[in-house]
Structure 1
């Protein structure tokens, strides 16, 4: 009977380690796919508007905030792919608790970069949708609705990426608290 109890105690940490790595890989795949989708949408979002034979174009490249948002999504997507491969390779051998802290720092930085990009795009989107009458900025989303809808979709996908990185950060922080000094 003692042998069976000792065996279940030994398997419990291995089981939790396996669940932790499965959750890490699953959340990293989700974060990668959502940031890649957000980047693809923003890179393909443009609209040409013709008013009295004058053509104007709405593109993400006209706003530094939207450029930052696009590049933040690409950077986070690239680092997500890198960390996905790293987590899957390291996960086979088992992670030492000190490496959880490295995952925590990585996930925190990626979440911060992505959240900053989302915040800048949300701000510009708000001004594009509602304008800022005190500054003389008129709303433009009535004129370029297709562009605005694509930007909204891109920002929503990116916020989901932030949520997934928040979950990854919480998981890594939880695991790193077991570090022995």
Structure 2
């Protein structure tokens, strides 16, 4: 029993707490910025071209995967703004590990949502860029280069936000295991 109690941090050093809070704020702000930029880039990506005398549009709203991607990033951004305020409140009053467990659950759900959005957009983006000869789907990025480039930028930004949420999940899990007296 003494071995378990010795592993639990009773009174964290003030520098450790400040470093933890700085990491929380930094990663949350970076996650907010990247998810907002990914959603905005996807929402504004559209292109019109004339192919064989016919005007053809490419928009994110024509693909359910791209719609899911854009709205998932927007939802993650909004909830991360709310969690930023919560971390600010928790950090000031020196809250217990239970509250950080709830932050861990929040970060885990946001990371999973962004990961699912990235997977959906990557799959459709791959088909858009390279096509699929087995199913007869043609690549469209030869004709819609601007649209495809914007979608690529959006997906890369979202993968960055996934990494930030992964770090937040690890940090929150670590903090939720510690108890304060």
- Is this a same-fold pair by TM over 0.5? yes
Secondary structure at 1:48 match in 2: strand
Misfit runs of 4+, over 4 Å: none
Distance change in 2, residues 1:78/1:130 (3 Å): same
Q: Distance in 1 between matches of 2:172 and 2:111?
A: 13
Aligned position for 2:64: 64
Worse overlay, 52-61 or 139-148: 52-61
Give deviations 1:66-89, integer Å, cap 9, x for gaps. Answer: 000000000000001000111112
Report what 2:19 is aligned to: 19
| Helix, strand or coil at the partner of 1:123 | helix
State the Cα RMSD in Å: 1.5
Equivalences for 1:93-108 in 2 at 5 Å?
Answer: 93-108=93-108
Q: In structure 1, how many angstroms separate the alpha carbons of the residues matched to 2:121 and 2:53? A: 30
Partner of 1:148: 148
Determine the structure 2 residue equivalent to 1:7. Answer: none
Partner of 1:45: 45
Aligned length: 171
Q: What's the TM-score once normalised by structure 2's chain length?
A: 0.91
The yes-or-no answer on 1:78 pairing with 2:42 is no
User: Residues 81-102 of structure 1, C-alpha deviation per residue, up to 9 Å, x if partnerless?
Assistant: 0001111122111121111111
Name stretches of at least 5 consecutive residues in structure 1 with no aligned partner. 1-9
- The answer for the alignment partner of 1:30 in structure 2 is 30
Residue 123 of structure 2 corresponds to: 123
Gaps of 5+ in 2: 1-9
How many Å separate the matches in 1 of 2:100 and 2:85?
A: 15
